[in-house]
Copies of this chain bind each other. A is one copy, B any other.
Amino acid sequence: MENARELFQIMTRRFGLLNKFCCTECGCDISLVQSHILYEVNRQHHPSMQLIAGILGTDITTFSRQVQSLVKMNLMKKTPDPSDRRVYTLSLTERGACIAASIDKQMTDFLNDVFSTMSEEERDMVLRSIALMNEAMAKSDKCCRPLSH
């Protein structure tokens, strides 16, 4: 039980590095943080800025500037919400979606490669475990509270 923390730490670090690597490798150079933004905006349906900033745990002011960069890079759109004019709605441009897909593909390729050394049962077990972890973490409010989903 003692080594649970170690197991997760190593895995998380490795995954973070992979993520970073995929960002630079996918053709267009974007930062890790930016890739997380693209990823999450892609997942949500026309989210507000507060939502994404909250999910990613970054300060709204920092996030505001990140969005400005991404808009300037033509990867994201910021549309005023007609029902509440304080709110801006985020979405990916075609180019942004393309890059998000490219990163996605690289990550999936890598995962497939990793899983290729496992048996079918092991693979299923791992995926079920991660899903279980995510559910359990969502339930626990002891420590990490932001994050929807």
Contacts and interface: CB of A to CB of B under 8 A. Distances in A.
Contacts of A36: 13
B4 A8 contact: no
Q: Size band of the A side of the interface?
A: 35 or more
Integer count of this chain's copies in the complex? 2
Contacts of A9: 19, 39, 107
Contacts of A108: 2, 4-5
B14 A137 contact: yes
Contact of A143 (B21, B115, B117, B140): B21
Interface of A: 1-2, 4-22, 36, 39, 43, 56-57, 104, 106-115, 117-118, 122, 125-134, 136-137, 139-140, 142-144, 146-147, 149
